Amino acid sequence: MAHPHGISGLVGKLIAESEVNCNADKYYKILKHHEEVPEAIPHIITSAKAVEGEGITSGCIKEWEYNHEGKELVFKEKTTYTDETRTIHHSGVGGDVMNDYKKYDLTLVVNPKADGHGSVVKWTIDYEKINEDSPVPIPYLALLNQITEGDQLPPMAHPHGISGLVGKLVAESEVHCNADKYYKIFKHHEDVPKAVPHIYTGVKVVEGHGITSGCIKEWGYNHEGKTLVVREKTTYDDETRTILHSAIGGDLMNDYKKFDLILVVNPK
């Protein structure tokens, strides 16, 4: 019912943000000088070379060899640098990943933290699938996050260690459904397990009214072969079609002090 005309799902965006205890300019320069990356994380990136142009000049073409999910793969991309904003844009032009995507662009932005201690590293994947069978590149976002994690970075990138405790993941995709209708389906939570029973096994309101802000819900769901539970406090903003799920209990909280999910539905 969420997609009477089908879900396009071909165009999307994934974003990951995490904090590092490293000067923003220094961190940016380490990733700009690509030759140092395979030396620092050889278990992920096995090789990086410029095959056209100068490696630290916009417009150059680079070829990266990397390990992912037990496979040795290649990614060829055109690189653009914006030193003023500490931004590196990698636009895919060849390699294994282009078997699944018409467009596959990676953007790295490094910004200093507001308190002056460390930086915020933001990776964005902009993609367009070749067809509906092409996967959403979430595993690649996890791969980029590994590069940012403390035990994956060059020692010079984190003289005082990597915090890596605070982060953000964002996924955007397009659906062929009216925004108000799509929002209401998720607000009326009872319909969700019926629509995706292989993911959600059940949902119940344990406190308050299910479509009123401040209610407490408990969700059962399947993840990586396990049946898990999350308990969360829900807040609705009908004007902006926003639902905030703030986790307060369940399996997730064994690993996180804070775990909030936010759904925002906007018309195209």
Count of C-beta atoms within a 10 Å radius of residue 179: 14
Number of Cα atoms under 13 Å in the Cβ half of residue 194: 9
State the catalytic residue, choosing from 34, 89, 90, 245: 90
Q: Under a CB-based contact definition with an 8 Å cutoff, are residues 262 and 244 in contact?
A: yes
Across the beta sheet with 216-223, the strand order is 200-207, 216-223, 226-237, 242-250, 260-264
At residue 141, the 3 state secondary structure works out as: helix
Q: Which amino acid is at 39?
A: E
Active site residue 160: no
Can you tell me the distance from the alpha carbon of 104 to that of 77, in angstroms, rounded to the nearest whole number? 9
Can you tell me the distance from the alpha carbon of 209 to that of 183, in angstroms, rounded to the nearest whole number? 17
Residue 113 φ then ψ, to 5°: -70, 155
What is the DSSP annotation of 80-108?
Answer: EEEGGGTEEEEEEEEEGGGGTEEEEEEEE
Distances (CA, A) of 175 to 4, 12, 136, 181: 10, 10, 14, 11
Catalytic amino acids?
90
